[in-house]
Structure 1
């Protein structure tokens, strides 16, 4: 991508406050649905699910559903259950991801798999997926069911694609963008798109909101790629360098490997293959990513996709909802700075 994309920055630090304030009343309804539907006669299920759901996440995906409904001036209530559906899908994937990645921290807290074990985490994730499909069916729209069920399938495909690319330094940039589009951006896109369905808008509006969410999701993940090398556990809410130690070939690694000298390329290959993964190795890898411009260029790509997300909203009228959605993009991108 071009390196001349205009940075998305305001004089003040962007935040999620505008979108949170915009949807606060609706989120109370969504939280009620989440709390009610995560209950079970099996005590471990609400205990484990509640650990993650109450773990301090911003619930950005369901907020996007609600904010897009506001953008379309929708006054019904269908989006409450559907926003909860989106959050259940997301939470289920997090439970499964932490098992696959053997993660120890999420949002600054011990992961469910570290507390209750892998089997319990996988099974409760399955429970939440099942609850999400119950909510989709209750909505009664085959269009909504198609969008969210397809998103669930694509997310799983993305996770498998990432797993098969793990520790493969030759992973191409194109394949990596396919992976993050599937495992991250598709749920952002679906969360936005279903608002157009419940508001009974046409295909062009559906597509515009899909593009907004999709590009925002890609930008969000690219910033996460940078943060893994640039931040610390306290800031990120997960262990610093997790991607590095797990052998995940993210965009900064792909760019650095293509640009580095032979000695550094050998080091990066050994690191991704799991032969060099202590703290000193992480520091050296980070230095290489800085020296090759891989981190700054990944942040620039995030700005590029953020700009595309904002451009997707061009046809919508100005107002509080549009402004909040734009600032949500600016917030997502500014986390890298």
Structure 2
């Protein structure tokens, strides 16, 4: 992944191991997307039909499994036990995050604590390990790996917070997904959690019905968006995304200025501004 390559360049490494590790991580990432689309019954990803829509669930899952197997074969060939341990742990965290997300589906009483635990496992874990393992390459050390890990975690959280806002404020033409997909699927994201907590009794009943799948029309979605705006849920979710972005950049402060550092900083800026 690009983050791994940029982190590797930040410590002065440009050898063959970083592209190979990046490819292995991309295989893992693609596998999780294939599996997620089956679990979520998604028909579109980035505006294109999903693999399960075209070839069916069984083939999509089988290809995902193959990619996972090939990825770990490449990691074994790399020969770093630190890298294998980091990615193995991240894979377990990702799986646990998927289970937690399924358990919270349509649960309007989901707390912010639970929400952040889920996105830390589902999204931040992959960002985290992608950056972390660059620290184990020549030119890095365990202290560097920790800095990269913390950078990736904060970046991943910022990315997911922005993604949750995108579902309400962006367009399918811009983002390759229909606005309101999460709303209609009953995903209790941070904007919903905030709006539900701050809403009137009538507003809270609306959210309860919506998350149970009883409010799925365009009119319902427009009302949901108004409630999010009136309660400041969109504004405050983005504020938290920007804060996590600032934290991410702070973990790069000990590194000297370079093109790689600028690229990582730009990645943070993109993560928190891509819905506009």
TM-score interval, normalised by the smaller of the two chains = over 0.9
Shift of 1:128: 0.7
Does structure 1 residue 92 correspond to structure 2 residue 31? yes
Gaps of 5+ in 2: none
1:242-281 to structure 2, matched below 5 A, reads 242-281=181-220
Higher helix share: 2
What SS is found at the alignment partner of 2:28? helix
Normalised TM-score (structure 1) = 0.81
Residue in 1 that maps onto 2:113? 174
The C-alpha deviation readout for 1:217-268, integer Å capped at 9, x for no partner, is: 0000000000000012111112221111111100000000000111111000
The list of structure 1 runs, each at least 4 consecutive aligned residues, that deviate by more than 3 angstroms after superposition, is none
> CA contact under 8 A between 2:37 and 2:50: conserved in structure 1?
yes
Could you say what the CA RMSD is over the residues aligned between the two structures, in angstroms?
A: 0.9
The C-alpha deviation readout for 1:62-92, integer Å capped at 9, x for no partner, is: 0000000000001321111100011011100
Does structure 1 residue 191 correspond to structure 2 residue 119? no
The C-alpha deviation readout for 1:120-163, integer Å capped at 9, x for no partner, is: 11111111111111111110111100011111111111111001
Does structure 1 residue 71 correspond to structure 2 residue 10? yes
Does structure 1 residue 118 correspond to structure 2 residue 57? yes
Residue in 1 that maps onto 2:42? 103
> CA contact under 8 A between 1:104 and 1:239: conserved in structure 2?
no
1:156-167 to structure 2, matched below 5 A, reads 156-167=95-106
> CA contact under 8 A between 2:11 and 2:139: conserved in structure 1?
no
Shift of 1:335: 1.3
Distance in 2, Cα, partners of 1:246 & 1:101: 9
Distance in 1, Cα, partners of 2:49 & 2:246: 35
Distance in 2, Cα, partners of 1:95 & 1:311: 34
Residue in 1 that maps onto 2:140? 201
Shift of 1:200: 5.0
Does structure 1 residue 140 correspond to structure 2 residue 79? yes
Residue in 1 that maps onto 2:170? 231
Does structure 1 residue 216 correspond to structure 2 residue 163? no
Residue in 2 that maps onto 1:298? 237
Distance in 2, Cα, partners of 1:201 & 1:322: 15
> CA contact under 8 A between 1:256 and 1:294: conserved in structure 2?
yes
Normalised TM-score (structure 2) = 0.98
Which is worse superposed, 104-113 or 231-240? 231-240
Size of the aligned set, in residue pairs, is 276
